[in-house]
Amino acid sequence: MKINKLYWKISATFLLTMVLVGIVYIFVSVHTARNYFKEVHQELYGDIAQHLVQETKPLANGIPDTTATHDIMHSMMVINPSVEVYLLDTTGKIIDYVVPNSTVKMERVDLAPVKSFIAYGPKQFIVGDDPKSPGEQNIFSAAPIFEHEQLAGYAYIILAGAQYKETTSTLLNSYFLKSGTTVFLTALAGSLLVGLLIIWLITRNLQHIIEMVRRFKEGDTKARIADAGNNDLSVLSTTFNDMADTIEANIEELKSVENLRRELIANVSHDLRTPLAIMQGYVETLSIKNEQLSSGERQQYIDIILGSSEKLARLISQLFEYSKLEAKQIQPQKEPFFIAELAQDVFQKYQILARKKGIELHLDQPQNLPLVFADLGLVERVIQNLMDNALKFTPAGGKVSIVLRESGQSVEVRIADTGPGIPEGEQSAIFDRYRKAPSTSGRSAGAGLGLAIVKKILELHDATIRVQSRLNEGTAFWFHLPAYGG
Ligand X SMILES: Nc1ncnc2c1ncn2[C@@H]1O[C@H](COP(=O)(O)OP(=O)(O)O)[C@@H](O)[C@H]1O
Minimum distance from CB of 437 to ligand X (Å)? Answer: 3
Nearer to ligand X, 31 or 356 (CB): 356
Binding residues for Mg ion, how many (CB under 5 A)? 3
Q: Are strands 360-364 and 466-470 parallel, antiparallel or unpaired?
A: unpaired
With CB cut-offs between 5 and 8 Å by kind, which of ligand X, Mg ion, none does residue 70 bind? none
On whether the CB atoms of residues 211 and 56 are closer than 8 A, the answer is no
Nearer to ligand X, 92 or 450 (CB): 450
Counts of helices then strands in the chain (DSSP H, E):
11, 14
275 scored as a contact of ligand X (CB under 6 A): no
Return the residue of 223, 437, 481, 483 that touches ligand X, per CB under 6 A: 437
With CB cut-offs between 5 and 8 Å by kind, which of ligand X, Mg ion, none does residue 448 bind? ligand X
Nearer to ligand X, 404 or 451 (CB): 451
On whether the CB atoms of residues 213 and 189 are closer than 8 A, the answer is no
Rounded Cα gap, residues 194 and 18, in angstroms? 12
Which one of 265-273, 343-351, 352-360, 389-397 is the stretch in contact with ligand X (CB under 6 A)?
389-397
Minimum distance from CB of 435 to ligand X (Å)? Answer: 6
**Non-local CB neighbours of 313 within 8 Å, separated by 6+ positions:** none
Q: Interface mask (CB under 6 A) for ligand X, residues 344-383, using x and -?
A: ----------------------------------------
CA triple 388-392-393, angle to 5 deg: 125
With CB cut-offs between 5 and 8 Å by kind, which of ligand X, Mg ion, none does residue 447 bind? ligand X
Q: Is 80 helix (H, G, I), strand (E, B) or coil?
A: coil
Which one of 55-63, 148-156, 167-175, 446-454 is the stretch in contact with Mg ion (CB under 5 A)?
446-454
Rounded Cα gap, residues 131 and 272, in angstroms? 117
Return the residue of 58, 161, 419, 482 that touches ligand X, per CB under 6 A: 419
393 scored as a contact of ligand X (CB under 6 A): yes
**Non-local CB neighbours of 266 within 8 Å, separated by 6+ positions:** none
450 scored as a contact of Mg ion (CB under 5 A): yes
End-to-end CA distance of the chain: 74
With CB cut-offs between 5 and 8 Å by kind, which of Mg ion, ligand X, none does residue 430 bind? ligand X
On whether the CB atoms of residues 143 and 118 are closer than 8 A, the answer is yes
Q: In the chain, how long is the greatest CA-to-CA distance?
A: 167
Nearer to Mg ion, 57 or 356 (CB): 356
**Non-local CB neighbours of 169 within 8 Å, separated by 6+ positions:** none
Nearest Cα to Cα of residue 5 among 207, 162, 186: 207
Minimum distance from CB of 353 to Mg ion (Å)? Answer: 14
Residues of span 384-443 touching Mg ion by CB under 5 A: 389
Which one of 119-127, 251-259, 305-313, 450-458 is the stretch in contact with Mg ion (CB under 5 A)?
450-458
Nearer to ligand X, 72 or 312 (CB): 312
The residue count of the chain comes to 486
Q: What Å distances lie between residue 18 and 11, 14, 15, 176, CA to CA?
A: 10, 6, 5, 19
92 scored as a contact of ligand X (CB under 6 A): no
Minimum distance from CB of 260 to Mg ion (Å)? Answer: 21
Task: Tell me the DSSP string of 359-376.
Answer: -EEEEE--SSPPPEEE-H
Spell out the alpha helix ranges (H) of 80-171. Answer: 111-120, 162-171
Which one of 21-29, 173-181, 346-354, 442-450 is the stretch in contact with ligand X (CB under 6 A)?
442-450
447 scored as a contact of ligand X (CB under 6 A): yes
Which one of 54-62, 278-286, 296-304, 443-451 is the stretch in contact with ligand X (CB under 6 A)?
443-451
Nearest Cα to Cα of residue 95 among 26, 152, 50: 152
Residues that bind ligand X (CB under 6 A): 389-390, 393, 417, 419-420, 422, 430, 435-437, 446-452, 475
Residues that bind Mg ion (CB under 5 A): 389, 446, 450
